[in-house]
């Protein structure tokens, strides 16, 4: 899976960044958003197979990807992941992502 390999590289860089490296973090967010916004089904499949640690970082861009997809299916996937990993406390991020869907 090409998406998985590309995301591994981006996430590896993101995890190594200093919390105060705003430029580096924003660059990682943009790369992840661009990659995950290309194909909804591939992204959903990838997220369903992601680890808890990876989802922690990916959750930072849920709203950006949601804005691109405009999809209830994507939000439903995120809600399932929230139930699977309640300790990540992603509910607020998902609520914001859902608000980006235009009615």
Per residue in 27-71, pLDDT (tens digit) is: 999 999 999 999 999 999 999 999 999 999 999 999 999 999 999
Residue 79's pLDDT is 96
Q: How many separate domains does the chain show?
A: 1
Residue 103's pLDDT is 58
Q: Return the percentage of the chain with pLDDT > 90, whole number.
A: 93
Burial-class residue 86 by CB neighbours within 10 Å (0-12, 13-18, 19+): exposed
d(CA 33, CA 63) in angstroms, rounded, equals 9
Domain of 47, CATH number, reads 1.25.60
Q: Are the beta carbons of 37 and 65 closer than 8 angstroms?
A: yes
Q: Residue 102 pLDDT > 80, yes or no?
A: no
d(CA 94, CA 4) in angstroms, rounded, equals 22
Q: Residue 93 pLDDT > 80, yes or no?
A: yes
Which domain covers residue 59, as residue numbers? 1-100
DSSP assignments along 50-64, one per residue: --HHHHHHHGGGHHH
């Amino acid at each position: 899976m090409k998406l998985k390999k590309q995301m591994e590289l981006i996430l590896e860089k993101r995890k190594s960044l200093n919390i105060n490296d705003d430029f580096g973090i924003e660059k990682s967010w943009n790369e992840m958003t661009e990659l995950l916004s290309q194909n909804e089904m591939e992204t959903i499949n990838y997220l369903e197979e992601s680890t808890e640690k990876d989802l922690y970082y990916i959750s930072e861009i849920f709203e950006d990807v949601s804005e691109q997809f405009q999809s209830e299916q994507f939000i439903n996937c995120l809600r399932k992941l929230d139930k699977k990993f309640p300790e990540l406390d992603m509910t607020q991020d998902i609520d914001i992502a859902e608000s980006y869907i235009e009615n």
